Amino acid sequence: MHPAPSALRRAVAATTIALLATAVGCAPQPDDKASGSSSSSAGTTCAKGKLATRTSGKLTIATDEPAYEPWFKDDKPANGKGFESAVAYAVAKQLGYDKSAVVWQSVPFNKAFAPGVKTFDFDINQVSISAERKKAVDFSSGYYDVRQAVIALKGSKAAKATSIAGLKGLKLGAQVGTTSLNYISDVVKPSQEAAAYSKNDQAVSALKNGQVDAIVVDLPTAFYITAAQVTNAEIVGQFENQSGTPEQFGLVLDKGSALTSCVSSAVDALRKDGTLAALEKQWLSDAVDAPVLK
């Protein structure tokens, strides 16, 4: 027995609608970027205080322990004092999180940019942006342009060096995994292997004890070390930036983090409105200059 014509038409219509619904469901949907709601917009994903953070309503920021001056003050990242503490809170405010919504976490320097899922929303710890590190983590826009410097004990052979050539025969040291250590191997290319330390304070102790002739750190840290930690040491000089591109510190985020574009936009806004320059003047004004080693 065949269905009546009207019943047949209804069945065909229902089948057609079902097939169309399936086709639409499987078809490529409009791209968010095309509709103007990309992750970098200040719309849904970058709504102030409502980011997809590790803990809802909170912003988890990490740094190493101890937290050195002039980047932090009194080894207390949460007090808002020191350049990086101040920058962290300025970024948080730009993202819509007040000081009470910021949670600090201790993460070793090397672990911050090592492969693997992160426990923080972003890390701030004098981490230089590099192509190699970008393979494992995301970076924000740079928040500080930095140079590397050499420190030696006053009156030593190392302290008398006026060029890179004058450093080649010396025993040099730096923290492992840092741009400072890279400058020793890639720029100085010393005749003896550099000493690598897990933390900067170990490198400082090695300098004090005469285990190395000189150490390499970023310039602001060099000014702090010579002023407060090793007063019988001096800054020998600073290196020029390689390839004409400024070395920059960036905030470290999980690889592919949904927050990266929002955090970068916050840093860019702080640079544009002069906040970063003002904080640099406030906290790093003593680290102004040193001879250039060529």
The model's pLDDT over 257-284, given as tens digits with 9 standing for 90+, comes to 999 999 999 999 999 999 999 999 999 9
d(CA 19, CA 209): 79
pTM score, whole prediction: 0.79
Query: For 112-121, what is the mean pLDDT?
Result: 96
State yes or no: pLDDT of 25 exceeds 70: no
The count of other CB atoms within 10 Å of the CB of residue 71 is 26
Predicted confidence (pLDDT) per residue in 147-200, tens digit: 999 999 999 999 999 999 999 999 999 999 999 999 999 999 999 999 999 999
Q: Are the C-beta atoms of 164 and 188 separated by less than 8 Å?
A: yes
The pLDDT score that the predictor gives to residue 288 is: 58
Strand partners, 106: 63
| Residue 8 or residue 167, greater confidence | 167
How many Cβ atoms sit within 10 Å of the Cβ of residue 234?
19
Residue 292, helix vs strand vs coil: strand
275-218-203-133 Cα dihedral, nearest 10 degrees = 90
Model pLDDT, residue 15: 38
Close Cβ partners of 227 (under 8 Å, ≥ 6 residues apart): 286
pLDDT, one tens digit per residue, over 48-84 is: 999 999 999 999 999 999 998 999 999 999 999 999 9
Q: Within 209-274, where are the H helices?
A: 219-224, 260-272
**Distance between CA 272 and CA 269 in Å, rounded?**
5
